Amino acid sequence: MKSKGYLFDTHALIFWYQKSAVSAEFIDFFDRQSQQGQLFVSSVAFWEIALLAQKGRVTISDAHAWANELISLSGIRLVEPSVVEMIDSTLLPPHHKDPFDRLFVAQARRRELAYVSNDRLVQQYDVALYWL
């Protein structure tokens, strides 16, 4: 399957946008992909980011401002989860317990996008994975 673009996992989105914990090659590659309209993020990722910020697991003082800045400046394309994708996520084998990751896998599969994640549990699913 040839990928029609790249769907970021939540951690990949944070690392890329904050330019931390990833290589310069990773940042440059996805900067180019975003400029070409090939970089996708599930709207659900922003819910997960807000929850992580609330729990103190990521340092983002204002999730609204962070999301608005990222969306307006980055060139990412937001994807809303469809009913089919939400149901598909519940039908995946139980390799991963995180419902966000399962939904992102289902979205990547349905939309023929490579899933950008370094989560080892996701490697067990039949989804095109990408990580630099």
Is 3.40.50.1010 the CATH number for 6-130? yes
CA dihedral in degrees (49, 126, 123, 88; nearest 10)? 30
pLDDT at position 132 = 76
The overall pTM is greater than 0.75? yes
Residue 6's SS3 state is strand
> Closest Cα partner for 10 from 70, 91, 86, 88?
70
* Contact by Cβ (8 Å): 132, 26: yes
Say yes or no to pLDDT of 64 above 60. Answer: yes
Q: What angle separates helix 44-54 from helix 99-111, to the nearest 10 degrees? A: 160
State the residue for tokens 């995180």. Answer: 98
pLDDT at position 66 = 96
Give the containing element (helix H, strand E) for 24: helix 24-35
Q: What does the radius of gyration of the chain's CA atoms come to, in whole angstroms?
A: 14
pLDDT grade for 4, boundaries at 50, 70 and 90: very high
CA 112/CA 5 separation, integer angstroms: 8
